[in-house]
Structure 1
Amino acid sequence: MPAARRLTALALATTAAAALAGCTPTAGDGGGGGAQALTVCTNSPYPPFELERDGEIVGFDMAIADEIAADRGSSKEVVQANFETLESGAALDTGQCDVAIAGITVTDERRAAMDFSEPYFNDELALLTTADSGIDGFEDLAGAAVGVQQGTSGEDHATEHGWDVQQFEDVELMFQSLETDGVDAVVGNVSALGERAGASPDLELAATLDNGEQIAVAVARGETELLEQVNATLERIRQDGTLERLRAEWMGL
């Protein structure tokens, strides 16, 4: 997850009385069978991975959590957590939850604090433009005004290439600038940009670039059996087309 997510998490923390808020029981697809409820730490809002809708935390991550819970024959309980407690492994180490599913990018530093499943999403860099921009790829951005969200890999990439960068604290403001011709294109993670392109007929994903940002489920160090269960579910939903369907539903990809 990009550094801007940490800024979002810290901002959300000002509205929380503690690092971890209460649990909200949510039934998984398989209902509440004999297994103990799967507790899932997340940090919302971070669409399309997790967001609140009608009082419930939903999104791409929560749909995957439902699949894991269903395969275990259990219900699911969502634990809203400060993202700092997730990327440090503290929420897992203190038993606040069984798994952390929060758009967490796998890094060497995080691997030292927790164990990760096989990746379930490759969050490539993407280039989003208006349909009539004439920009077909990253190579066309010289001289263009390029919008980026502060603290993200998109900002890093744009700065490294010397493009005319305009920074935005909020991703929605960045999209609005693109739609009102404030910038010519925006560069960011495909998860967010793909969702926006799917929602607007006037926008299109012009190109993607694999920068190695892989997102996975985290468990506490040494939780081998649980990790095997998670990986088994991820393999199943890859094979049966569920993962592809969820990508299309939540990300428009």
Structure 2
Amino acid sequence: MTRAAVSRRRFLQLAGAGMLALTGTALTGCGNSTSGEGSDKGSKLAAIKSRGHLNAGVKKDVPGYGYYDTAKGRFEGMEVDLCYQIAAAVFGVSYKEARAQELVEFTDVTPKTRGPLIDNGQLDVVAATYTITDERKKSWDFSTPYRTDYVGLMVKKRSGFTSIEDLDGKVIGVSQGATTQSLIEQMIKDNGFSCKPEFRAFSGYPIIKSSLDAGNIDVFAMDRSTLAGYMNETVELLQPEVKFGEQGYGVATKKGCDLSAVVDQVICDRLADGWLDQEVKTWGLV
């Protein structure tokens, strides 16, 4: 980081306490975010400003959403950009300034680790294709959904599968900590399919795809927009016309903290001004 950037960050640290009264709990969103604490004691906003940057959890293996480009040495994707929008709101700067001054530090997360890293205070926000569910809302605050997706079933073209019924006794690979298995089981029940597939959980998406390519599993199941980053001429979606498992992605924060309302307002504003729609186009999301 340049000397000028350090100076700017230090200025924001010193100004943080004074700015707190102008942001945070006074903001209300278009969803049902919790307004959180109203004083500096235990304030997440005050802690972030004192620290000088936002700690954000994103995916490292979901092209278009959160992906770590080893050649460039940085995270990129729509959710990465969204974290800079949140930092801009917290520090009272523009989106471009938030990026230029590196006001976000990223940590890669998995479905298994993202919640606990919020709980232990290591992360302020998680924007990692995190599906909002009633059960999860008991433990964390979630913003208004910024993206809606459905579950897809990726199979090898050579498999010969033409129907979900063909998955009887077959092995479906899913991500640890995700809701995918339960959504597939519910879809099978709702549609009256008689198949009974098996499930195998993996720690990351690349290993699921490699297991599919190696023939160790028969299906790679995940959100369709995630699968899009792993599509090639050898694979296809099985019965894509069967839409199921609708899920809204939200930014997660610590339950009841004063950051939650700020995050929700950012999502509402970026939905309203079309920025998120443009991000979908920019990153080629489906």
Q: Same fold (TM over 0.5)?
A: yes
List per-residue Cα deviations over 1:197-252 (Å, max 9, x = no partner): 1xx2111223263324321123453443553233201332367x41321451xx5x
Letter paired with 2:78: F
Alpha-carbon distance in 1 for matches of 2:167, 2:179: 17
**Cα shift readout 1:55-103 (whole Å, capped 9, x = no counterpart):** 3222331022345556851413124386244454x539xxx64x43233
State the percentage of identical aligned residues: 19
In structure 2, the partner of 1:243 is 279
Distance 2:85 2:157 in 1: 36
Task: Give the equivalent residue in structure 1 for 2:151.
Answer: 125
| Alignment gaps of 5+ in structure 1 | 1-23, 26-31
The higher-RCO structure (CA 8 Å, 6+ apart) is 2
Aligned to 1:102: 128
Give the TM-score taking structure 2 as reference length.
0.58
Q: What SS does structure 1 have at the residue aligned with 2:270?
A: helix
Find the structure with the greater CA-based Rg: 2
2:226 is the alignment partner of 1:192? yes
Distance in 2 (CA, whole Å) between partners of 1:219 and 1:151 is: 18
Go from structure 1 to structure 2 and tell me whether the alpha carbon gap of 1:136 and 1:65 turns closer, same or farther (over 3 Å shift).
farther
Structure 1 counterpart of 2:34? none
Q: Is the 8 A contact 1:143 1:164 kept in 2?
A: yes
Check the 8 A contact 2:149/2:223 in 1, yes or no.
yes
In the other structure, the counterpart of 2:196 is 163
Q: CA RMSD in A?
A: 3.8
The equivalent position to 1:202 in structure 2, one of 229, 234, 243, is 234
In the alignment, which of 63, 77, 93 is matched to residue 59 of structure 1?
A: 77
Aligned CA distance change for structure 1 residues 188 and 100 (closer, same or farther; 3 Å): closer
Deviation at 1:196, TM superposition (A): 0.7
Flag the 1:136–1:246 CA change in 2: closer, same or farther, 3 A. Answer: farther
Indicate conservation of the 8 Å contact 1:87/1:104, yes or no.
no
Partner of 1:176: 210
SS at match of 1:108: coil
What is the CA deviation profile of residues 29-54 of structure 1, one whole-angstrom value per residue up to 9, with x for unaligned ones?
xxx9x997762411553523333223
Which 5+ residue runs of structure 2 have no aligned equivalent?
3-8, 13-18, 20-48, 189-194
